[in-house]
Amino acid sequence: MCLTRFGIFLALLLAAPTFADVKPHALFDHHMVLQRNATLPIWGTADPGEEIYVHLEVKTADGKREEAQSVKADKDGKWIAKLAAFPVGTDGILTIRGQDRKPEPKEKKGPNAVVFRDVAIGEVWVCSGQSNMEWSLAACPKAGGVETINNSTNPMLRVFTVAKYAQPTPQSGFNPKPPTPKHHHWLPSQPDNAPMFSAVAYFFGKQLQESLKVPVGLIHTSWGGTPAQAWTSREALTADGGLKYYLEQLDERAKTYDPNKAAQQYQLTLAKWEKAVEEAKKNKLPIPRKPGEPQAPGYGQNDAASLYNGMIAPVLPFAIKGAIWYQGESNAGKPIEYRSLFAEMIQDWRKRWGHDFPFYCVQLAPFQAGNPNADNWAHLREAQSIACAKVKNAGVAVISDAGDLTDIHPQDKKPCGVRMGLLALAHTYGQKVEFSGPSYKAKKTDGNRLIVDFDYVAGGLKVGEFSFAGAESIGKDGKLVGFEVAGEDMKFHPATATIEGESVVLVSEAVGKPMHVRYGWKNFPIVNLFNKAGLPASPFRSDEVLPAGLK
């Protein structure tokens, strides 16, 4: 009898109308930070035609504030609500409720609700780039990473880390197989979460939060070793005549790609690797890295538009204040092209978000890059500045005092984050803070001397003192270093540099009438001109000569 009753109950349960599965986008989560003073898009999926009710309630300085909106899912099941702007707030609750779209007339409707708690309203920034942005606090033990993690508790600083995902077409969602349970969740800054945080993003967010005294949310989306064209949309690359070749090459590869041949070739490569491993073990040598599996064109992290599709498009149209960026190493082979490519990428992102948000980047750190005295990285640093000046509302943080001769990943990431934070505090938030080191202004020849003038001297110029791998104890002797001068022949020679007021006077026995100046114009510059605010001057040159063959 009991079994019969259970069977009847189960049949009735299965026959009853079910409520639709309302799924907010993954960006909406407990502990999230939403952008203050901006319309708030909130979106997700449900059954086509289903009505969705979105309600946000937040504690603000003047009490409680709430907004609500009802929307209907379209024929593809997509829905989006746009709530009115909120001021700074905390302890928020976001409720997203759906209803069965076809209830029986006599059946009682019931809610299908998702509730997110500890929602904050503050400042939201996207943090992107390649490995130096990806580099975690845990990976910086030589630069106080452990201490930083132990002291990271700050409930008003939260980070959302996007899992790596390269795709041939724009995606609405993130990688469905994130590498850890902590990906795709808003994590408050605290010791058990901080080890995985981007170190650059963390120091940037910490600088903003402590200065602005508001919640700060960071959306970290980066991938080591990737070029800027991978982070730019297909439409933007197509529209630029000098960049569309990236897509043409990708499309040509797609036409000729044979997955079976690729798999066969991979097996041969794998067999060679296995033999190499045996030899390495036998001779007690380092084990070679296992070769990666073949990827169809468009699914590789270096393919044009692939990371825009998989790691930027899914963030849209989440309301943000701005973006920070640490990338360029993978484009250093074509520094002149980077002037337009980087600018195009910034404009592309701004177009997608619908406003010209501030964009700040980190200048490439000193590194040998194969030849410390070569200058392709110098040209890339220059390209970063040129691109930022072109798009406006952008800036470059200089870290000439925080490099490493042999490591492309210098561990001292604090200057990167803090100095981008200073740019944001000054330009985005209007605070009266020093945000730039000395910046080249003008030059004039005075007999055998070249006098170089600077902006942003912040009370005066000074010889900076610092030390990092390959540039130990710089400035300890009181000497200003890193300057070169040239005459009409454009042959540069080292110059003796002396600070005189807000100028630097340069003299070289090899140049009787100096007319041009270069400062730190190398892959691995050793330079130490600072202002009295403690910020370093950017490497620069007064000429515009390009080496033959430079792309």
* Domain-located, residue 32: no
- Kindly give the interhelix angle for 199-212 and 414-423, rounded to the nearest 10 degrees: 40
Q: CA-to-CA distance for 232 and 308, rounded, in angstroms?
A: 6
Q: CA-to-CA distance for 228 and 308, rounded, in angstroms?
A: 10
Take residue 257 and report the two structure tokens written for it: 């790609």
Q: CA-to-CA distance for 301 and 324, rounded, in angstroms?
A: 20
The phi and psi torsions of 260 (rounded to 5 degrees) equal -70, -45
The phi and psi torsions of 66 (rounded to 5 degrees) equal -140, 150
Determine which of 11-15, 75-79, 396-400, 531-535 has the lowest per-residue pLDDT on average.
11-15
Q: How many domains would you assign to the chain?
A: 1
393-413 burial by CB neighbour count: b if 16+ within 10 A, else e?
Answer: ebbbbbbbbbbbbeebbbbbb
Determine which of 100-104, 374-378, 465-469, 513-517 has the lowest per-residue pLDDT on average.
100-104
* Domain-located, residue 180: no
* Domain-located, residue 477: yes
Report the first-to-last Cα separation within the chain, whole angstroms: 84
User: What's the helix, strand, coil split of the chain in %, to 5?
Assistant: 30, 30, 45
The residue among 440 and 18 whose pLDDT is bigger is: 440
Mean pLDDT calculated for residue range 505-514: 97
| Of 545, 517, 361, nearest in space to 454 by CA | 517
The pLDDT tens digits of the residues spanning 95-113 come to: 999 975 444 444 444 458 8
Share of the chain above pLDDT 90, in %: 92
3-state secondary structure 176-223: CCCCCCCCCCEEEECCCCHHHCEHHHHHHHHHHHHHHCCCEEEEEEEC
Q: What does the DSSP 8-state code read for residue 469?
A: T
- Kindly give the interhelix angle for 376-391 and 335-353, rounded to the nearest 10 degrees: 30
Mean pLDDT calculated for residue range 487-511: 97
Mean pLDDT calculated for residue range 423-447: 97
Mean pLDDT of the chain: 94
* Domain-located, residue 17: no
* Domain-located, residue 116: no
Residues 6+ apart with CB under 8 A from 403: 365, 366, 367, 410, 468, 469, 470, 471, 524
Question: Do 336 and 551 meet the contact criterion of CB atoms below 8 Å apart?
Answer: yes
| Of 48, 67, 49, nearest in space to 57 by CA | 67
The pLDDT tens digits of the residues spanning 317-370 come to: 999 999 999 999 999 999 999 999 999 999 999 999 999 999 999 999 999 999
Q: What does the DSSP 8-state code read for residue 428?
A: I
* Domain-located, residue 483: yes
| Of 391, 324, 311, 335, nearest in space to 359 by CA | 324
Instruction: Decide if pLDDT at 10 tops 60.
Output: no
Mean pLDDT calculated for residue range 14-35: 79
Q: CA-to-CA distance for 445 and 452, rounded, in angstroms?
A: 9
| Of 387, 392, 381, nearest in space to 428 by CA | 392
The pLDDT tens digits of the residues spanning 192-245 come to: 999 999 999 999 999 999 999 999 999 999 999 999 999 999 999 999 999 999
DSSP three-state, residue 44: strand
- Give the other-Cβ count within 10 Å of 490's Cβ: 10
Take residue 511 and report the two structure tokens written for it: 């140049």
pTM for this model (two decimals): 0.93
21 pLDDT tier (thresholds 50, 70, 90): confident
| Of 32, 203, 207, 226, nearest in space to 128 by CA | 226
Q: CA-to-CA distance for 175 and 302, rounded, in angstroms?
A: 17
Q: What does the DSSP 8-state code read for residue 101?
A: S
The phi and psi torsions of 343 (rounded to 5 degrees) equal -65, -40
| Of 542, 450, 453, nearest in space to 495 by CA | 450
Structural domain boundaries, residue 505: 439-541
* Domain-located, residue 514: yes
DSSP 473-513: EETTTS-B--EEEE-TT---EE-EEEEETTEEEEEBTTBSS
- H or E element in which residue 148 lies: helix 145-150
AA identity, residue 255: K
DSSP three-state, residue 406: coil
Take residue 21 and report the two structure tokens written for it: 């599965």
DSSP three-state, residue 129: strand
Mean pLDDT calculated for residue range 56-84: 96
Q: What does the DSSP 8-state code read for residue 380?
A: H
The pLDDT tens digits of the residues spanning 253-310 come to: 999 999 999 999 999 999 999 999 999 999 999 999 999 889 999 999 999 999 999 9
Q: CA-to-CA distance for 188 and 38, rounded, in angstroms?
A: 22
DSSP 102-123: S--TTSPP--EEEEEEEEEEEE
Q: What does the DSSP 8-state code read for residue 310?
A: I
Peptide bond preceding 168 in cis form (omega within 30 of 0): no
Determine which of 69-73, 514-518, 545-549 has the lowest per-residue pLDDT on average.
545-549
The pLDDT tens digits of the residues spanning 162-179 come to: 999 999 999 999 999 999
